[in-house]
Each structure stands twice: as structure tokens, then as C-alpha cells.
């Protein structure tokens, strides 16, 4: 297994210059490195304590397959378009039989045509990682707009290539690396920076000011991320920690046969923590409850939270004021 481990001073590539970070304790570094070394595959990680700015990283700038984690970029573009008045959560979207694709989600099972709202579609895309809903969101928002936003945020190695389980449209030429990455590509560091924008509600562009409605928009997105159905990776061991509530963890997963990913923001007793972890080239390509990639991510998350917040988790509202949360148990 190949990986590079480093502790870094970070300037987040999202237009906001952050304070200088300090290195994680050597003991945490050693424990995370040991877990990754036991994994039968490769690991990329970037984690930050947003309060202390401690970081820990393994191959944080290695481009990797996103699988469904790229749906965070789709959700972010939706917030920005609603914020700009170009889209509305109440927009009507029709699911047709041609839109129903296999894989994760439940819309494939519904009778079509079916009328949905943009908010319905985004909720299904995030909570159930519904592929049909994801494609509807891409159609409504525009893949080119999503990639333009990604570039605007300074995410140089993040890209959404195409719709899920749909052929490339006639006349559209895919980038040369699409076959390698599939649906999308990113790095652990870049996806951590995107999750940080959700967690801290940073919707204003560099140099612009926040708007009165930003907190409500972030609340809508965070409610979806709090209700994430797939909890076998980052939340696996954290859900049972002291202080954990139904809104302590906001996360988005992504899975392929040889890939397991999870990107999460965790509300702890010691502030917000972002963990962005990708396992790939996994020897274990099973889909059971004890899949090695998910277990590896879960163990790494447990070590990080145990080090940075030994007293456990807290409700989201304890760390993020003014942003609505669902306040309901999973």
C-alpha cells in the first residue's frame, strides 16, 4: 500500500485565508498511520479541527475517484443558485422513466412520471445518494455551472464529469482522465474544504458579505447531511459517543466496488471537526456491513475524535449558532 503522510500548514482553496495551522500530536499521527498501513488498499485523508486548526493528512492532494461524494458539489451549486434567485427549492421537476437509473436510491422503484420539487430531488440525492435524483439535479442546475462553481472556489483537482449511468451526450467530449475517475474526481483536502463551507456556512464569494438568508439555506443543506442514511464509515463508532445527538454529524458517502469514501463535519465538545477520507484500490470489494474500506475510515475517525475531543460529541447548535438543524434523532 502506498501513501504519503504529512502534517501541513493550510491555506484553504476556497477564497478565505485561514489562520496558520499547527501540527497534530505525534501520537495521533502514529495511530492514524498505523490504521492506514493495515488497510488492504490505499488511503487519502485530510482532517482539521476547525477550532484549533490542528490537521492530520495522508496523501491529501492525491486525485481520487469521488463516487457519490461529488454530490456535495451539486448540493453546493444548488444553494448558490437559490441564493442568487436562479433556482428555487419549490421548482417543479418531473421524473420520467428515462430518468430512472440503477444503483443507490429509491426513485427507480417509483411509478413515472412523478412530480418532485428541487428540494425533494436534493434531499433524495443526499440522504439516500439517489442516482436518479442526482441526474435530475444536474439537469436542473447544469453540469457546466457546477464545474464553473468548483473552479471559482479554487478546487483545481475536483471535477464532475457526467450524469450517473447515462451515456455522454452526443457532441460532448469528455476530459482525457474521465475513464480513470468515472463520475468525478477530487482530493481529500479539496473535499474537506467544501464540507467546511457547509459546516461554517460560507456562501459569500471572496470579498463579498454574507446575506441574511444564508443561515437558512445552510440549514436546509445541513438537515439533509445530518439525515445521511449510510452510517458505516465516519459515524460508525461516533454515533455512540457521549453527547452524540441526531445532528452531531453531517456527512456524505461514496462507494464503488473498490472505493469507499466519507466526508463529514462533526460537532464535538471541542468544536467542529472535518474529516475527509477516501479508500481506493481496495482488495475488499464486498458490500456487507463489515467492508474493510468503511471499517478503516471508521477507525481513523474514532482515533481523530478521541484525540481532539476525548469528552465526545455535542449537538450541532452548540458549535454553529444561527444555522437551523433538524434536532431529530436518526
pLDDT tens string 142-168: 999 999 999 999 999 999 999 999 988
Report d(CA 50, CA 47) in Å as an integer: 9
Predicted TM-score (pTM) of this structure: 0.90
Residue 330: the pLDDT is: 34
Strands 92-95 and 184-186: unpaired
Hey, which bits of the chain come out as E strands? Answer: 5-6, 22-23, 42-49, 54-58, 64-65, 92-95, 114-117, 159-160, 184-186, 249-256, 259-268, 271-280
Can you tell me the mean pLDDT for 293-316?
A: 98
- Nearest of 247, 273, 279 to residue 260 by alpha carbon: 279
Report d(CA 231, CA 235) in Å as an integer: 5
Can you tell me the mean pLDDT for 45-55?
A: 97
Can you tell me the mean pLDDT for 90-107?
A: 97
Contact 296, 37 (CB under 8 A): no
Amino acid at each position: 500500500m502506498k501513501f504519503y503522510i504529512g502534517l501541513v500548514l493550510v491555506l484553504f482553496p476556497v477564497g478565505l485565508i485561514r489562520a496558520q495551522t499547527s501540527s497534530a500530536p505525534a501520537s495521533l499521527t502514529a495511530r492514524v498511520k498505523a490504521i492506514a498501513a493495515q488497510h488492504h488498499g490505499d488511503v487519502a485523508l485530510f482532517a482539521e479541527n476547525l477550532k484549533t486548526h490542528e490537521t492530520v493528512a495522508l496523501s491529501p492532494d492525491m486525485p481520487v475517484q469521488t463516487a457519490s461524494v461529488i454530490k456535495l458539489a451539486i448540493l453546493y451549486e444548488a444553494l448558490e443558485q437559490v441564493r442568487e434567485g436562479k433556482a428555487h427549492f419549490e421548482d417543479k421537476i418531473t421524473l420520467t422513466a428515462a430518468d430512472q437509473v440503477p444503483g443507490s436510491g429509491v426513485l427507480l422503484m417509483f411509478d413515472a412520471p412523478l412530480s418532485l420539487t428541487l428540494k425533494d430531488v436534493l434531499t433524495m440525492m443526499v440522504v439516500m445518494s439517489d442516482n436518479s435524483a442526482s441526474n435530475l439535479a444536474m439537469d436542473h442546475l447544469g453540469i457546466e455551472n457546477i464545474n464553473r462553481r468548483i473552479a471559482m472556489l479554487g478546487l483545481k483537482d475536483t471535477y464532475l464529469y457526467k450524469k450517473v449511468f447515462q451515456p455522454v451526450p452526443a457532441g460532448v467530449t469528455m476530459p482525457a482522465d474521465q475513464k480513470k475517475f468515472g463520475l468525478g474526481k477530487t482530493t481529500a483536502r479539496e473535499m474537506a474544504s467544501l464540507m467546511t463551507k457547509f459546516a461554517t456556512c460560507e456562501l459569500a464569494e471572496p470579498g463579498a458579505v454574507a446575506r441574511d438568508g444564508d443561515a437558512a439555506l445552510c440549514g436546509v443543506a445541513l438537515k439533509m447531511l445530518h439525515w445521511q442514511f449510510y452510517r458505516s464509515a465516519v459515524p460508525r463508532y461516533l454515533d455512540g459517543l457521549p453527547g452524540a445527538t441526531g445532528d452531531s454529524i453531517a456527512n456524505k458517502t461514496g462507494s464503488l466496488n473498490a472505493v469507499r469514501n466519507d466526508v463529514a463535519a462533526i460537532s464535538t465538545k471541542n468544536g467542529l471537526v472535518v474529516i475527509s477520507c477516501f479508500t481506493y484500490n481496495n482488495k475488499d470489494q464486498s458490500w456487507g456491513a463489515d467492508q474493510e474500506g468503511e471499517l478503516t475510515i471508521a477507525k481513523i475517525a474514532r482515533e481523530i475524535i478521541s484525540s481532539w475531543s476525548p469528552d465526545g460529541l455535542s449537538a450541532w447548535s452548540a458549535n454553529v449558532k444561527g444555522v437551523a438543524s433538524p434536532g431529530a434523532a436518526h
